[in-house]
Structures are given as C-alpha cells and as structure tokens.
Structure 1
Amino acid sequence: MKRTALGLVAIGSIATLGLGSSADAANIRSATPAANGVLAVAPATYAGQMASAAKAADGTAKAIGLGPKEKLVVKSVITDRDGTTHTRYDRTYGGLPVIGGDLIVRRDAAGTIVDTIWNVNAKVSLAGSLAAGDDAKAKANAVKHAAGKKQNGHAIRGAKATKTSKAVYLHEDGTSTLVTAVQTEGIADDQTPSTLVVWVDSASGNVVSSDQKVKAGSGKGIYVGNVSLSTTSSGGSYQLKNPSTGNYSTDLNQATTGNGTQFTDADDVWGTGTNSNRQSAAVDAQYGADATFGYYKNLLGRNGIWNNGSGARSRVHYGNSYVNAFWDGTQMTYGDGSGNASPLTELDVAAHEMSHGVTENTANLNYSGDAGGLNEATSDIFGTAVEWNANLTSDTPDYYMGELIDINGNGTPLRYMDKPSRDGRSYDCWSTAVSSADPHYSSGPLNHWYYLASEGSGAKTINGQSYNSPTCSGAAAVTGAGHTNIEKVWYRTLSTKLTSGSNYKTAREGAINSAIELYGASSATCTAVEKAFDAIAAPKGTATCSGGTTPPPTGGELVTNGGFESGTTGWTGTSGPITNNSGQAAHGGTWKMWLGGNGRTTSENESQSVTIPSTSTSATLTYWVHVDSAETTTSSQYDKATVTVTPSGGSASTVASYSNLNKATGYKQVTVDLTAYKGKTITLKFSATEDSSLQTSFVFDDVSIKA
C-alpha cells in the first residue's frame, strides 16, 4: 500500500466521528482497551460509528480529492484508545464497484484527517458507456481461465460461471478499465472449493485479473510442520474450519466438557510449531481431520465419517495432563500429554480417532473380544494409511503408531505393526487368549496382518526404518502386495463384510472375499491377504484364493488404471495430479496425470509397483506425454520432470527426463524396454518439480507395461 499525508484537514461535520452521541462517547470511554490499543466497543456503539462515517462519506471523498463520480462506501471503523479512528472504505465510480480502489482514512480524536492509506492513489476516469461489453464472451473466457488455474496447487474441476456484474478495475499504474466481473465456482482435486472471481476487459474480452475467494491458509503444527490448511474467512478474520468438509477445531482450554472455543486468527497463518502456541496443536488436529477426510474420499470412495460429506469437530487441549485421545461418537478429542507438554495430535493418531467414527458408522464393531481388537486395529491401519498418503517430510511414513508423541518417555512408538509384541503387551499371533485381552493389545494380530500383507515377512528397511516381521507357527514367508491395495481390501471388508461381533475368522473370510472382488482370486493381492492371515495363525474359513503367484500371461497388461479413468485407483503419490480438469486435455478419455502447472515452487509425483513375470520374453513401457510451459527461455531448464524405474531393493534408474524446454503442442508417445527387469517387482514413478514462477505442465496419459 502507499501511504500519503494530507496535512491536518478538519471536517466540521464529522468532528466527533467515532464518538456519536454523548452516550456513545461514554460507552467508548468505559470500554475495555485491548493490548494493542484498540478499543473493544459494544455492538450498538460500533453501529453508530459506521453510521456516522457513512453520513460523512461524501465530505471525506471531497477532502481526499476524489473525482465527482467517485463515492466512498464504509467497510469498517476501528477506534484506538486515544480516540484515533481508522475508517476503511471501498470506492464506486458511476455506481460500479472499483476493484483496487479501497483506502483507509485515519483521523485524530478531534476528527481531523491525519493521513490516508491508498491501495492505488489515483482518480478513476473512464470514457464511454458503463454498460458496454459482451457478457457471454466474458463468461466463456472466465471459465476457460478458471479451468487452467490451480487452487493451492490442485487443479480446479467443473468450473462454471455463476454470477456476472460490471465493475471498474483500477490498475497499479493508476489507469482504469471497464470490466465484467465473473464469479466462477468449482472444486479442486483436494476437495477445496474454488470461488474464483475473474475480471474480463469489457472491450477486448481479455482476462485482466482474477482472485480466489476461498483462501487456503497455512500453519505450523507440532508434528506436521508447515502445511496448507483450508480455512474460512469470517468477519475480517479466519476460522480454523474447512469450508468444504466442515471439519473444524476448538480449544477446550483444559476443560473436560463443552464444545470448546472456535480457533480464529487475523492473518490466516496458524501456530508456531511449538506447544507454547495453543494454535499449534489445533493445526495438527485440523490437518489430520482434513487429511483423513481426503484419504477416505479420494482413495476409498467414502465421503467422510458419515459418508454424507459432513465434517466433524476436533477438540484440543482436553483436561490436564491427559495422555490420550478419543472419539465419542460425534467428535475427536485430544489431551496435551504428560505435563501438558506433548499433545496427542500426531497425524496417525488423529486419523486413528477419526477412523473410529468410520468403524462406528460401518461395521460398528464391539469394543470387546476379537471385535474389540479388530476395532482398534482398523483405526491403527487407517491411521498408518493416512500417514503414508500424506507423506510429510516432518512425519516420515512408517509402520509405527504414535512414534512422535513419545508417550512412553523413551522415544519408542506407542505400537509396532511389523511385530506388535515389541511393545511388551500386544499379540503377534491369534490365539483363544486374544479375545480376553484389552482391545489395544488384541489388535496386534490384525496390525501384524496389515504389515505382512503390505510389505511381506522378514528383515527389510523401508523409508529408513528397519523392520523384521515374523510369521507364526511355522507359516510360510509372505510377499507383500503394497499397502494401498491392502487398505482397499480392508476398507471393503469393514464396510461390506463385518458386523458388530465379528472375530478374526470372519475377518479373514471377509478380507479374502474382498480381495477376490477387488483384484481377482488369482491376483497377487489376494494371495498376500490370504498368506498374511496364515502367518498370524487366524482361523480358516471356506474362502481361498486360487494361485495368486501365477504370473500374468505374456502380453498381458501389468499397470492398473494406466488411463486414469478410475481416478487414483492403483496409483500412490501427491494429492491432485490425477484429474479430469479441463485445463489440460487428456490423450484418451477425460482423466490424465497432470504434474506441475502451479507456477510456484512445488514437487509432485505419482507411482505404481508392478511385477514383471520371470517367464516373459519381453517387457515394454509405453506412455503419452505433453509438455506445456509459460517459460520463455530457450536455454535454461527451470522446471523438470522424470520417469524412473526402481527394482525392489535396488536403485532408481531414470528412463526419461523433461523440462520446460520440451514444451510443444500435442502428445507424443514414448516407448521404453524393461525386459532387463523380468522376474522383478519394480516401481514406476513420474515426478516433477517447478521453480518459483511461470508454470510448466507435464501431462502423462495412457501408461502401459506389457510383458
């Protein structure tokens, strides 16, 4: 903003502006001052201040030198302890709103203008009719513009024009343009709503500018670190409430009853990452709730706890030194830990609690016997799953629960999934003794099953963590099928197979049938599910897979959902790139993988693991790629993308590289020989990074590996 001093200009008609009547003046003098010197006034007093400022607006406009067609519209009045007022105005020109015309006028206690803070210090001047322009063309161009934008790094889908109006756009250089303001509505791939207002030049039809009205805030939590948050703008401040999901967070202030106080913030930057700032724990809880909501919807097709799109409340700072967190049927609640020094708001814990709500509204598993263990394990499984899906650098994904909260005081996790008995209390294997154990310990066998089915048995290092998962009663070794596949199997089991009193036998039966339904009886996933239940000694039923170790036939397709028409199915990575947004065309169908396109510093990736049969005579990777860029250089690589192949236990090999220098119209097909990897499980990964400005889009589609 530009600040200009206008001298001491007295405006007689508003000498008592901010005081109103003598009664109002008394109210102001007796009001309680805030620490920053701003007076907190009664609602009636504030209404009087606004009315007085509005009455004096024409005189103020003249005093600060506005033109004859320009008017001031009062937005707010702030009164200091010493009687100084700060009145915020919008401008109109010929009755049209002036975009960029806002300003603040400061007066001393006597009503004399001290200075004015201008957004743009210029008069508005336009020639011709204020009704000119083609609204239909403006709407079409606005929708096209919105479709090419991203909301907080995520592509906007389904953009449509909902409102149009005329306005004047005041540029930073002081010039003015008659524009058509088009409000577009859509939704980003991460479920953040988009309300993008696009200003289109009424004469040329060109987009002048745009503004996202749904602000994605940011915060620093104790465990999640710096993350983006979807918050709600309200009354000049922000609420820690996601406008899309309805998830919100409150401060219980160590109480044990009540809803708590809604967290609000003036600048939409929340927390400091330390426990001394009460917002920090709320950032963890809010991020956890939103990440869990997104995981269930995007990967499992469930629209929140109740599957109706509704969010839930997260209450933090519960009780005094409360070392736990819980779900009570309507909300998640988090204690601050021993000495109120370690809030239990770690991401996997937050997802664990929210998942109790999902269980309650699906199988509604009892909290005793085998069912109690299945109940707790379900929350551990999906708590771990959300951590893997979020893939935060501050909370590296692993197969532990609560590893950051140090609940034991010695740096060890709350629970281990590779070998649950490492905590000294949980069971690795099922036996009749399990049903009489505490659900947190009878959960051990199913947690063990999840790890085995995902990663397999034996010693290995994953994400820098060492694991060594045993099998029970001499069971055969297990080969994992990937945690995402197993999570889908277990969710289907929970939502379509289990009842309140289910036990480990019915869980085994349901999971094998779910794997058959999702992946086929001869799939590697079905085999992993069945063999992992064998490995925890779960009682057998009648369900069985039929040879999941048989390699696919030569010439068969190995990639799941390579055309992306089933959304993210089969793929793991950053939330957002797999989209049917119209901003970039797909090669085939409507969905594609769109990496980049943000115009700011970002890193995105998507990957999938496949096994190339040892009996294959050849293996070929093919895909289509299109590169679009706003970069103008012909020599510097500012934005880059790679395609890599990594064999299990081996190093990544880059099979293709791209940059902004590869921008071109249309798609081109790429073929890569992967025969050298036959008999191996490989991870195919597409990655992209952008620098701080000017977007480059790397769009991939119709990915195939045939062997």
Structure 2
Amino acid sequence: MLFGIAAMSTGIAVGGTAAHAASGPSTSHGATGVSNHQAVDAFLGSNPQSIASAASDDYQLVGTTTSADGTSHFRYQRTYKGLPVVGGDFVVHAKSGKVVGQSGDQRNAISVSTTPKVAATASRSTAVAGAKVYNATGATSSKLVVDASGAKPVLAWMTVVTGVQADGITPSHKAVLVNAQTGKTIRSSEMVKSLMSAKTSKDAMAKRGIQHKATLTTHMPAKVPTVTWSAVGQQALGNGHGPGDNNGKHKGQNKGAAADGTGKSLTLGDVTFATTEGSNGFEMTDPNHGGNSACDMNNSEAGNCELFTDDDNAWGDGTNSDRATAATDVYFGAAMTWDYYNKAFERNGIFDDGQGVPSRVHYGTGYVNAFWDGQQMTYGDGSGDNAPLVAIDVAGHEMSHGVSEALADLGYSGDVGGINEANSDVFGTMVEFEANSSVDKPDFLIGETIDINGDGTPLRYMDEPSKDGMSLDCWSSDTQNEDPHYTSGVGNHAFFLLANGSGESEWGNSPTCDNSTVTGIGKDKAAAIWYNAIKDYGTADMSYADLRAGMIKSADALYGADSTESKAVAAAWTAVSVSS
C-alpha cells in the first residue's frame, strides 16, 4: 500500500500549516467571499485531527484539480521534522468557500524519534537481502522516512534495490522499508509496472523452453537526493519522472519538419501517423504528440535504444520479419493513447506537460511481457521472438500506468496495487475503442491478440476476471495479499458491470458476487467517473472502498447527486463485494 512514484510539483512547505504552490489553486467563492483556497488553509489550521496531523508536520501542496460541480481538490504531501512521510499524502475538498471532506489513509498522528538505532549501511544490507529480487545488482543509499501507512507510525530506512523480477528479465526496482529502530523489514513494493505478473511471464516463457539469466545492470548514484517521499525512489535512481535507465529517451536526430507517415502494423493493419523529416530521412519522433518516439533495443536488455529511421516514411511490412513493424504498432498506440486522454479529459500527455515518452521494442530474447518504468514503455517480442506484445490495449495499459502516477501517485501493493493495474486495463480498453480498428475490433478483453497462452485466449477478461484462472471476481479481506495483476480483477469486474451491466451483453456474460442485477451506463460515462475519482480522490494507499466512495462523488459531480449514474456506481461496487 505504498511507494507511488509520480513526479512532484514544486511547492513551499510551512511548518505546521498548509502551503500552496506558486501557481495557486482555483478560487471559487461562496456567499461570504471566502475562497476554497482560504477555506482549506483555515480548516487545516483548526482541524489537525482530520488529517492525523502532528505539531512537527509540514505540508506541501502538489496539485489542485476542480470537479464539474465546482468542488476544488487540494493534494498535499507531508513531511515530519523534514522527513518524507510514507502514507501521509491527503486531499482536502472544498466547494463554495467551505471544506466538504478530505481523503487520506494516515490513521494516527506521528510521534517518533528521528534518531535511528540502526545504521544506514546495516539497513541497506537488510533491504538487499530481503528484497526478493532475482540477482540483485545494486541498491541506493538508504534514506530516512517516516512510515505512517500502518496503525502506528515508525521511523524507517527506505532503499531501492535493483535487479530483475522472477522471470529473470523484467527489471526490478524494489523499494524496501526497514524499521530504523529494530532493523526488521516492514514491507517492499515494486516500482516497475508490467503488463502481467513476473510469474505469468516466467510460466509463459517456460512453456517454450525459455529461461533467462539476469544481465541487467543499473548505475547507482553516490547520494540519495533530499526530496519528498513520492520522488525519493525515482530521484534516488538518478532519473526524472521515474526509475527507468533513460537509455531509450530520444529528442530526435534533428528538429526537422513534420511529415505524414504510413505504416503496416502487426495487429492493426495499415495506419497513419506523424513523423519527423530531417536531412537524413525520416525518424519515429512524433511532433504532434510531444516528441513520442520509438526505438529498437535490438533484443538486448541494456544499452542504447536505436531510434527508428526510414528513407521513404513507409514503415514495416505487417510481419515480424521487418523490425519496424512492431515499432509501428507501439508508435501508433502511443499516439492513440495521447489522443484518447486529450479528447476525453483535455490531458496533454502522460504527465500533462506536453512532453512525449519513448516506446522501446524488441527488448530481450523471447521476452513475454511489457512494462512501464516511470519514464518509458518497453515491449518484448514474445514466444520465439515471433509474437511481440505490441497490441493497442497493451500500449494503452502501459502508458496509463504513467497517468495514474501523475494523477494520484498510486502505489503497487495491497488494494491500491489492484486499483493501479485495473486502471491501466480500463484505459487500455478505452484506447482500443478510440482506435476502433476493423482488424483488432475493440472489446473488454486484455491482450487478446498477443496469444500469451499459446491457444488464442486473452491475458485477462473484464466480464468475469476469474476465467483466466488467477484473477479475482470479488473483493475479500484477503484480496490485498495477492499480486496486483490478480487483484485488479475486482476493479475490472466493477468497471465492466458499470459500463455494460450484469448478465448477457454484447461483450460477455458478467455475473455478480451477490446475484444482484446491475444496469450499465455505457463505457464513456464509466471511464469519466473512474478517471475523475482517481484524479480528485486518489491517494497512494487508497483502498477499493476509497475508490468506490470517490467514484460516487465523481458521479454526483458529473451527473448529479442521487442520479442514475451515481446509483449505478454504488450498485456495481456492491456487486463485487466492495461496500462503503
């Protein structure tokens, strides 16, 4: 329930009071002339118990959003005596000059000594030993934080251990918390987010006799920068938005001119997209989408990623024998994902800053997975290097991991890990509908064209997630102990019910966990409600119950309190055993 890694806006923290970013929040005024900004400041000063505040807490405003009904949402990160607080983020909601609620998961005010009994070097050794990464290749210097995610806040050392995951090839950047007083490991969380679990990937490769030995190496800086918690992991690894190695990031060989390219893709047939023309031909750098690029890892797992270039601006031949074919899929997929978020939510790229990201293809040998590492997408070539994982919903899935980081810093274990994965499945599906290809017709299946199982079945089903043999249809108290790729089934199921209803539909036969009947409201409304709930109410440790509550409030804001849409949200979540 921790370790989100979204980049943080600059703000000014004032001891014991709420501080606001220089750009300032919205200033909706009530009858008294009090702005939402002023109301939140006053509320935090007079109601510290509402956010489990301590006298030594400082708050930093890192973002403000506004709902359709005029409610402003003020997102804060917290420090305690200058130390980042894990699980201390919160959002305060205000409308018409009055505070109307707050979202956050910290249960108790912090009262801990900030003097550790365990040395940083000892905690680093403990973290490396207990990180459970395959062939650990390094670890950052340990940094003191306060862990407020549990019932009792504790002083902890945070270390990022690098290596690979259980499949022997997917990078692992495992953030580990070690109790700074006892030396015991508290918990850990993976920072690299993949399409499927490492176990599923390993099993898929093992069926074809593929085993990997770790070759990944990661440079470690000598010192962890002093930053707020959500940026600790990524900046400790020496990067901007996230923990990637940055070897695929291209700005283009030259500035050049925009050009209209054509491509023969692997999964979508003929497509068109923008490229950049220079003195040496054309390159896969998208001038219409912030400089999104596509590059070739040449079946390696480290080193430079070679930007795709072409003489005639006609890319790929529709088969895997042309290396540009897979690049055509992901390059087009990145543009479609950008366009979907822009049209639906006026979002300008993953980080809403107009900046594109690289898509790396042909990663490793026989690699059956894809991942987002905080700053770029990476795609394997699949079984026998003949089935690249480059489908449109896969591209949308991976890019949406970046969006959820930027929106709410969602973590990757417990309930919130499932929410994180479900969010990517939801919006990967919405991107597939945006593309509306006649070759890969849109549906509510995940990875149906990449043949993970070797028998034509999809990776995941949204109508009845348990059909894949691993995912969960219904929430229970044990849900948080499962892999995020399996607990995502709860969110996927709720979204499908909200969009399409229970029972038979065009997209499948979806049962409910309590034998109730749910009437769908359509995918576009369901997606809008979901997105706005993450944007306005999401926190790094949010639970499925938190998401339910946030979606009801988002439906109220979009369609009216007690509306058909709001009632449908409640019904869909109840149908998967998530109650208020």
- Provide the TM-score with structure 2 as the length reference: 0.55
- The answer as to whether partners of 1:406 and 1:412 remain within 8 angstroms in 2 is yes
The residue number in structure 2 matching 1:232 is 276
C-alpha displacement of 1:398 = 0.3
2-side partners of 1:423 and 1:433: how far apart? Answer: 19
1:520 paired to 2:537 = no
Local SS of the residue matching 1:432: coil
Supply the AA of the counterpart residue of 2:524.
Answer: T
2-side partners of 1:388 and 1:248: how far apart? Answer: 23
Paired residue total: 324
The residue number in structure 2 matching 1:253 is 298
Local SS of the residue matching 1:229: strand
Cα displacement string for residues 260-298 of structure 1 (whole angstroms, at most 9, x for unaligned residues): 101011111100110111000000110111100111111
Cα displacement string for residues 644-683 of structure 1 (whole angstroms, at most 9, x for unaligned residues): xxxxxxxxxxxxxxxxxxxxxxxxxxxxxxxxxxxxxxxx
C-alpha displacement of 1:378 = 0.4
1-side partners of 2:428 and 2:311: how far apart? Answer: 32
Matches within 5 A, 1:269-348: 269-348=314-393
The residue number in structure 2 matching 1:477 is 517
The residue number in structure 2 matching 1:142 is none
C-alpha displacement of 1:259 = 4.1
- The answer as to whether partners of 1:259 and 1:315 remain within 8 angstroms in 2 is no
- The answer as to whether partners of 1:250 and 1:259 remain within 8 angstroms in 2 is no
Matches within 5 A, 1:340-489: 340-462=385-507, 467-474=508-515, 476-489=516-529
Matches within 5 A, 1:566-577: none
Identical positions, percent: 50
Supply the AA of the counterpart residue of 1:300.
Answer: F
C-alpha displacement of 1:519 = 1.3
Local SS of the residue matching 1:320: coil
1:241 paired to 2:293 = no
- The answer as to whether partners of 1:366 and 1:375 remain within 8 angstroms in 2 is yes
The residue number in structure 2 matching 1:530 is 570
Supply the AA of the counterpart residue of 1:263.
Answer: F
C-alpha displacement of 1:236 = 4.4
Local SS of the residue matching 2:285: coil
Supply the AA of the counterpart residue of 2:514.
Answer: S
2-side partners of 1:301 and 1:436: how far apart? Answer: 36
Supply the AA of the counterpart residue of 2:489.
Answer: G
2-side partners of 1:423 and 1:259: how far apart? Answer: 36
2-side partners of 1:282 and 1:528: how far apart? Answer: 40
The residue number in structure 1 matching 2:150 is none
1:490 paired to 2:534 = no
2:549 aligned to which of 506, 509, 516: 509
Supply the AA of the counterpart residue of 1:331.
Answer: Q
1-side partners of 2:308 and 2:359: how far apart? Answer: 11
The residue number in structure 2 matching 1:209 is none
Q: Which has the larger radius of gyration?
A: 1
Local SS of the residue matching 1:216: strand
List alignment gaps of at least 5 residues for structure 1. 1-212, 541-707
Local SS of the residue matching 1:473: coil
2-side partners of 1:461 and 1:487: how far apart? Answer: 18
The residue number in structure 1 matching 2:258 is 214
Matches within 5 A, 1:498-647: 498-540=538-580
Local SS of the residue matching 2:272: strand
2-side partners of 1:434 and 1:505: how far apart? Answer: 12
List alignment gaps of at least 5 residues for structure 2. 1-256
More helix by share: 2
Local SS of the residue matching 2:350: coil
Local SS of the residue matching 2:514: coil
1-side partners of 2:525 and 2:353: how far apart? Answer: 24
1-side partners of 2:276 and 2:258: how far apart? Answer: 8
Local SS of the residue matching 1:472: coil
1-side partners of 2:264 and 2:562: how far apart? Answer: 46
Cα displacement string for residues 359-418 of structure 1 (whole angstroms, at most 9, x for unaligned residues): 111111111000100000000000000001110111100000000000000110000000
2-side partners of 1:318 and 1:497: how far apart? Answer: 36
C-alpha displacement of 1:494 = 1.1
CA RMSD of aligned residues (A): 1.3
2-side partners of 1:241 and 1:355: how far apart? Answer: 20
1-side partners of 2:565 and 2:379: how far apart? Answer: 36
Cα displacement string for residues 606-651 of structure 1 (whole angstroms, at most 9, x for unaligned residues): xxxxxxxxxxxxxxxxxxxxxxxxxxxxxxxxxxxxxxxxxxxxxx
Distance 1:376 1:343, change over 3 A: same
Cα displacement string for residues 498-522 of structure 1 (whole angstroms, at most 9, x for unaligned residues): 1010011101000110111111123
1-side partners of 2:303 and 2:501: how far apart? Answer: 45
C-alpha displacement of 1:257 = 1.6
2-side partners of 1:447 and 1:380: how far apart? Answer: 7
2-side partners of 1:535 and 1:276: how far apart? Answer: 47
Matches within 5 A, 1:39-78: none
Local SS of the residue matching 1:233: strand
C-alpha displacement of 1:214 = 3.3
The residue number in structure 2 matching 1:621 is none
Cα displacement string for residues 55-89 of structure 1 (whole angstroms, at most 9, x for unaligned residues): xxxxxxxxxxxxxxxxxxxxxxxxxxxxxxxxxxx
Supply the AA of the counterpart residue of 1:228.
Answer: T
- Provide the TM-score with structure 1 as the length reference: 0.45
